[in-house]
């Protein structure tokens, strides 16, 4: 896989996908349905999923894809694949459906659970991020970004998310119970992709999630790493993109928050 070629292609493909989302977002006319329980999708999720799938298949024939809207139930079996394109056509579907512009598109290339290339677009905020394994930096609209330098929990801005898996939500409650009185602020903004990209850009200091899917993290985890941050499981173990539980931070706060929640 030629990563330069991949970057060139995806940096033009994602803005096109973003235009599809914008069209639906502005018109407000789209179907909205449950995939089961509290997991929802719109017509826009499906259309962008298809658009990205077809584009990437054509550009990189023979490589395997894992997309949110076509993922098999047992996608954990894809853990050992060397070049796996992992696609989230719309992260933050509820925000999107309620007229909230905090949503994102994510495409990552994963090598046995490790992200080696990623592009993310937050279309309504005009933010285009990318990072590559062999490059030193992660870029936002062409400029390198860094994580925050916050070192004290009392100055820390933390974010979490409530997975649609209702049982896993209780884990977040437990973590928050142990940490909420120690940090400056706790946010829940509804798009793991946009939030993790914000962490890489220094807008958040800590992020917690109990029910992530590979397509939420395939690109952003590389951003956080390249921006100088750190990712482990919430109990401090080694993490990969197939792990649903994550603690991400600017690095400076990592052991401090681990001491509280693990
Ligand atoms: Mg999605």
- Domain residues of the chain, as ranges? 3-145, 153-261
What is the structure's pLDDT at 82? 93
pLDDT tens profile 171-215: 999 999 999 999 999 999 999 999 999 999 999 999 999 999 999
Beta bridge partner(s), residue 232: 247
Q: Residue 189: its pLDDT value, please?
A: 97
Residue corresponding to tokens 């493909």: 13
| Ligand 1: centre distance to CA 83 (Å) | 21
User: How far is ligand 1, taken at its centre, from the CA of residue 37, in Å?
Assistant: 15
Q: What is the pLDDT of residue 77?
A: 87
Task: State the distance from the centre of ligand 1 to the C-alpha of 41, rounded, in angstroms.
Answer: 7
pLDDT at 185: 97
d(CA 209, CA 194): 13
Distance 89 CA to ligand 1 centre (A): 6
- Assign domain 3-145 to its CATH architecture: 2-Layer Sandwich (3.30)
Q: What is the pLDDT of residue 24?
A: 96
Say if CB 120 and CB 102 are below 8 A apart. no
Q: Which residues, listed in sequence order, are joined to residue 231 by a DSSP beta bridge?
A: 248
Q: 56-105, pLDDT tens digit by residue?
A: 999 999 999 999 989 988 888 899 999 999 999 999 999 999 999 999 99
CATH architecture of 153-261: 3-Layer(aba) Sandwich (3.40)
**For helices 254-261 and 166-179, what crossing angle results, to 10°?**
110
Q: Ligand 1: distance of its center to the CA of 76 in Å? A: 18
Query: pLDDT at position 73, please?
Result: 85
Name residues with Cβ closer than 5 Å to ligand 1, which is an ion: 68, 88, 90-91
Q: What whole-number distance in Å separates Cα of residue 65 and Cα of residue 78? A: 10
């Amino acid at each position: 896989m030629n990563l330069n070629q991949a970057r060139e292609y995806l940096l033009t493909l994602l803005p096109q996908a973003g235009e599809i989302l914008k069209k639906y977002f502005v018109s407000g006319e789209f179907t909205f349905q449950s995939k089961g329980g509290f997991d929802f999708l719109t017509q826009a999720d499906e259309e962008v999923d298809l658009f990205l799938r077809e584009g990437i298949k054509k550009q990189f024939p023979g490589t395997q894809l894992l997309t949110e809207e076509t993922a098999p139930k047992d996608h954990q079996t894809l853990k050992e694949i060397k070049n796996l394109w992992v696609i989230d056509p719309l992260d933050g579907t509820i925000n999107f459906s309620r007229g909230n512009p905090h949503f994102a598109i994510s495409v990552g290339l994963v090598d046995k659970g490790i992200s080696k290339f990623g592009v993310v677009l937050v279309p309504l905020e005009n933010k285009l991020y990318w990072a590559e394994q062999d490059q030193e930096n992660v870029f936002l609209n062409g400029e390198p970004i860094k994580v925050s330098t916050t070192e004290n929990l009392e100055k820390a801005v933390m974010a979490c998310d409530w997975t649609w898996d209702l049982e896993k939500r209780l884990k977040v409650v437990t973590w928050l119970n142990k940490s909420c009185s120690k940090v400056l602020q706790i946010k829940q903004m509804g798009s793991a992709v946009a939030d993790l990209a914000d962490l890489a850009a220094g807008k958040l200091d800590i992020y917690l999630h109990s029910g992530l899917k590979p397509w939420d993290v395939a690109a952003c985890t590389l951003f956080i790493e390249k921006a100088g941050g750190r990712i482990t499981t919430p109990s401090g173990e080694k993490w990969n993109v197939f792990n649903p539980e994550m603690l991400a931070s600017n690095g400076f706060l990592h052991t401090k928050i681990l001491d509280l929640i693990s």
